[in-house]
């Protein structure tokens, strides 16, 4: 089961984004505190373009960034998911997370990322996932550690962000499988 047919995950639940989410997403990405680890806060037009990009990713790959719904009220608490990314000339798939500040430190990013990672490896057959984390973003590093990812060292984003300091965290499908209980691997 994937977010393309229905909602997945227990808490938070993941579903596909839609164009009707623009108000929630736009106010989320306009908040400077929320966007502290991104190049800049985003406009409503940026948010609309980002939604359209994700709709195209669903069509092309089956995955993209998914909307996170809190349990039990279904409220928007952020987004998380998988998206293709060119890094150092190599095609990768990024595992990304971003949670609303009113809900930080409740385990939501970790749970959503675990659901996304399982879909990436199990359902979409990806061989590895990377996470892009600024060296100063300790909360995000902690999420990556809780997922079982490792810091693989500094990386370089495509222009215009090539000078932004980032570390590449991640794990391979084999590393992930190696941590699954034996019964689940059969």
Ligand X SMILES: CC(C)(COP(=O)(O)OP(=O)(O)OC[C@H]1O[C@@H](n2cnc3c(N)ncnc32)[C@H](O)[C@@H]1OP(=O)(O)O)[C@@H](O)C(=O)NCCC(=O)NCCS
- For ligand X, the binding residues (CB under 6 A) are 37, 97-99, 104-110, 133, 137-140, 142-143
How many residues in the chain? 186
Edge-to-edge strands, sheet with 76-87: 13-16, 65-69, 76-87, 90-99, 128-133, 166-172, 150-155
- Minimum Å distance from CB 148 to ligand X? 13
The Cα 14–Cα 17 span in angstroms is: 9
Q: How far is the CB of 178 from ligand X (least distance, A)?
A: 22
Handedness of CA 68, 21, 95, 136 (dihedral sign): negative
**CA 159/CA 139 separation, integer angstroms:** 26
Strands 166-172 and 76-87: unpaired
CB 6, min distance to ligand X, A: 23
CB of 157 to ligand X, least distance (A): 12
* Shortest Cβ 63–ligand X spacing (Å): 18
Of the pair 59, 86, the CB lying nearest ligand X is at: 86
CB of 46 to ligand X, least distance (A): 16
The angle that helices 138-147 and 108-118 make with each other, rounded to 10 degrees, is: 40
Nearer to ligand X, 4 or 87 (CB): 87
Task: Give the contacts of 139 (CB within 8 A, at least 6 positions apart).
Answer: 104, 105
The two tokens of residue 77 are 């608490």
């Amino acid at each position: 089961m994937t977010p393309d047919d229905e909602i997945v995950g227990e808490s938070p639940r993941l579903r596909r984004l839609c164009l009707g989410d623009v108000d929630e997403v736009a106010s989320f990405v306009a908040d400077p505190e929320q966007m502290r680890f991104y190049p800049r806060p985003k406009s409503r037009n940026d948010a609309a373009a980002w939604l359209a990009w994700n709709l195209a990713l669903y069509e092309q790959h089956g995955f993209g960034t998914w909307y996170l719904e809190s349990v039990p009220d279904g409220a928007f608490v952020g987004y998380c998911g998988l998206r293709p990314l060119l890094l150092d000339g190599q095609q990768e798939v990024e595992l990304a997370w971003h949670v609303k500040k009113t809900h930080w430190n409740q385990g939501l990013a970790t749970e959503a990322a675990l659901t996304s990672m399982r879909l990436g490896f199990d359902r979409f057959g990806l061989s590895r996932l990377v996470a892009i984390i600024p060296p100063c973003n300790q909360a995000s590093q902690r999420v990556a550690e809780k997922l079982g990812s490792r810091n693989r060292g500094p990386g370089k984003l495509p222009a215009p962000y090539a000078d932004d300091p980032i570390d590449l965290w991640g794990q391979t499908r084999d590393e992930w499988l190696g941590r699954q209980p034996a019964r689940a691997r059969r």
